[in-house]
Amino acid sequence: RTMEIRSPIIWISVMALVFLEVHSWKRDEPETSILKLPKPYGFLKGKLRKTFGNEKGETKMYKVFRNIPYAEPMTKERRFSQSQAYSDERDILGPTKSNPYDATKSGPVCAQGEINPDNITTYLDMNNLDLIELLMENTRSREEINNKFILKMAGKLFDLEGLPLETMTLSETIKSWLDVDFGMSEDCLHLTISTPVKPPPKESKGYPVMFFVHGGGFSSGTHLHSEADRLGDAADVIVVAINYRVGILGFLCLDSDESAGNQGMLDILLALEWVQKYIEHFGGDKERVTIFGESAGSATIGHLLLSPSTREKNLFKYGIGQSGSAISPWAFDREPRRSGYEFAERLGCKTINENEDDDSIVKCLRNFEDWEITKEFSLFTTERRKHFDLGFGGSSPCAQTKGDKKFYGPKDDPMEILYSGDYNTEVPIFFGNNLYEGIYTYNLIYNTVLKPNNYVENNNRTANYLKYQMIEDLNRALGFKNGYTVEKIIKDNYFGKDNEMKTLKSVVPGLIDYLGTQILKASSYYMMSKHASHTGNAYWYSFEYNGTKSICHTVSILTEGPFVGKYGACHADELMFMFDYELPLVLCDIQEIINVAVEYVGICTFEIECVVEKLRESHSECIDGYLTDEEKKVASTITKAWTNFAYYGNPNGNGLPILKSWTKENPEYIVYNKENRIDIDYKKKYILNRDVSHA
């Protein structure tokens, strides 16, 4: 019988409890390293870590320093305000070498989603056996598959029988596996720096710096595990990864100096200024900073290029954008106050009184706990998406009318700035997308629109909606003009002329293409090509590797949505080959693995060693989470291309194909896959599934 785990927290907790101890078991306790910074930091104690190793198995040592504050603490009283640089007047964090600041531990994730920190603490402090027992209340399985059976099987599966699993808490398990101290707070403006152990060459000004901005749709995400584990194998670089405020706490855009908008963007800007001031102490060259990011982080790279606030500051030299741009339909809010007012009204902080000023709204919102605000905003977003709103209102960059610092002024618009060429056009950029971006966006549409509105069953109501209304709703959400001609062109091109569009299954391939193109691909490609027309310093890539593991498996777990099939490289899949994302099980089809495991339990008549042996024979790659030899080759390609760009402003070298900068006359791009190649005209990759069977 199939064992079903219905809640996302159950999936995540079971994975952490049962399977994820393996990394700590196989890694030695790292040594520490001391570094001295000027006041107010003083001595920092970091960790010495080892890279995963290149294709030849050669590893390097690097130092990592975590939880370094780059801004003044964000408190309830200062919520929504613009961040300020960490004050030089503060007491020194690490006053002596014998009493340094502990930079070995990760800091909190920025407040986000529907997570109450008190609930987190409750789960973290629970004993493994007790928590499994709690989680299994929502499962249906054979009586013999109990908490002790699961924990014992985990011990056998990962050779962990020497660990006291039955007495360990979830907190101890996560700390041991992830090497993080998990927490969540609005006081989260800190960064992590990874730097080579060996000092930079004397003739240089330091190592190139790679400054990473995480994704998450501007409403979620963290920089955890964005270190030099893989990038450091490809080249000697310094990797900086940061937290910035997200969601309504990072982007509430009102006509008020207390909440002027773009708080998250200004956090990132402040972190870049911090790098300029301090990175030389880590061996970095402040004149060779490459900003790079994925999804909303990629859109941020575009915003940093276009924003008037970065002109003539020389904060970065190169930019890499992975699946997103500043002109993506979700990446700039043109009606931010409407979203802000609607949200404030839900919490009783806004009435129909037209004379109510925005300062009073901010004052009211500061009375709530941060998790109360993020939880309500998550529900607010979900409700809007149910009605075919993209759901990014209130949590995206905007044009500011107030604020001492303006990331975008009242009349600024990223599309107009890009078109005019009045920005940092001299900065070389390297942008790209993954082949099947739309798998991720389809999952989002399925869970927030189709399923809540009951358009997933095969009946006349669903057929009529899919055929006559769906495209119109999609276009309206994306801000496109509707009309019979437009809708027919979309239907014929993306869904196929012979497609009757009567079932959800019949439209999934077309939806994957249409959503991937309109939400991510087309806008990113246009930004790159327009930038190229101004300077000629622009490059494009397409990531197309299709392996067993995929970030989209994790997304389907978190959202309880369907995994629609392994079409190809999904949104964010390239991150697995760039950072330490070697996660047992969760990057594979975990429901399929659980079903197989339960089947093996029956075949083996509950003999754990038999079950473990069969699982390892059929799913060893997913159980261990490590990259295969083929995947290591892909990782080598990606990290070489990215670090090449940080060194030279182009992705070429180290045995990779030579890619010329993009021009209208020669629109070449590079395909990253098991074998890499140069191709022409990326627009051909907009529509991939038109000829797929619609049965």
CATH number for position 642: 3.40.50.1820
What local confidence, expressed as pLDDT, does residue 554 receive? 76
Mean pLDDT of 611-631: 86
pLDDT class for 593, splitting at 50, 70, 90?
confident
Whether 348 and 237 map to the same domain: the answer is yes
Q: Please give the tally of structural domains in the chain.
A: 2
User: Which range has highest mean pLDDT (12-21, 521-530, 612-621)?
Assistant: 521-530
pLDDT class for 22, splitting at 50, 70, 90?
very low
**Structural domain span for residue 383:** 31-105+207-303+310-316+325-424
CA nearest to 117, candidates 375, 376, 395, 377: 375
Whether 249 and 398 map to the same domain: the answer is yes
Residue type (1 letter), 203: E
What local confidence, expressed as pLDDT, does residue 13 receive? 38
What local confidence, expressed as pLDDT, does residue 590 receive? 75
The span from the CA of 72 to the CA of 270, in Å, is 11
**Which among 424, 447, 469 is the end of a domain?**
424
Would residue 9 count as lying in a domain? no
pLDDT at 92 over 60: yes
**Which among 424, 445, 473 is the end of a domain?**
424
Tens digits of residue pLDDT in 132-160:
666 555 554 555 566 666 666 666 665 55
Q: What is the DSSP letter of 481?
A: P
Pull the structure tokens for residue 224. Answer: 């955890």
Q: How far is CA 181 from CA 71, 101, 175, 666, in A?
A: 20, 16, 6, 49
What local confidence, expressed as pLDDT, does residue 583 receive? 76
What local confidence, expressed as pLDDT, does residue 533 receive? 97
pLDDT at 181 over 70: no
Q: Contact, 638 vs 573, CB < 8 A?
A: no
Whether 500 and 574 map to the same domain: the answer is yes
Whether 474 and 341 map to the same domain: the answer is no
Whether 293 and 369 map to the same domain: the answer is yes
Whether 442 and 548 map to the same domain: the answer is yes
The span from the CA of 573 to the CA of 570, in Å, is 5
Whether 443 and 413 map to the same domain: the answer is no
Can the peptide bond before residue 329 be classed as cis, meaning omega within 30 degrees of 0?
A: no
**Which among 400, 424, 448 is the end of a domain?**
424
Would residue 613 count as lying in a domain? no
Would residue 441 count as lying in a domain? yes
* H or E stretch at 537: none
Least confident of 492-506, 622-636, 680-694: 680-694
Tens digits of residue pLDDT in 532-553:
999 889 999 999 999 889 988 8
List, in sequence order, every residue forming a beta bridge with 241; answer none if it has no partner.
192, 212
Would residue 98 count as lying in a domain? yes
Coil, strand or helix: which one is 610? helix
Whether 412 and 464 map to the same domain: the answer is no
Would residue 462 count as lying in a domain? yes
pLDDT class for 399, splitting at 50, 70, 90?
very high
Whether 448 and 570 map to the same domain: the answer is yes
CB burial class (10 A; 0-12, 13-18, 19+) of residue 228? buried
Would residue 3 count as lying in a domain? no
Pull the structure tokens for residue 131. Answer: 């928590």
What local confidence, expressed as pLDDT, does residue 27 receive? 45
CB burial class (10 A; 0-12, 13-18, 19+) of residue 497? exposed
pTM: 0.91
Would residue 479 count as lying in a domain? yes
CA nearest to 455, candidates 482, 474, 438: 474
Whether 494 and 567 map to the same domain: the answer is yes
Coil, strand or helix: which one is 616? helix
Whether 470 and 581 map to the same domain: the answer is yes
Pull the structure tokens for residue 123. Answer: 């789960």
Mean pLDDT of the chain: 87
The span from the CA of 179 to the CA of 575, in Å, is 19
Least confident of 176-180, 392-396, 661-665: 176-180
pLDDT at 86 over 80: yes
User: Which range has highest mean pLDDT (159-168, 437-446, 627-636)?
Assistant: 627-636
pLDDT class for 594, splitting at 50, 70, 90?
confident
Would residue 549 count as lying in a domain? yes
Whether 211 and 246 map to the same domain: the answer is yes
CA nearest to 236, candidates 292, 170, 171, 282: 282
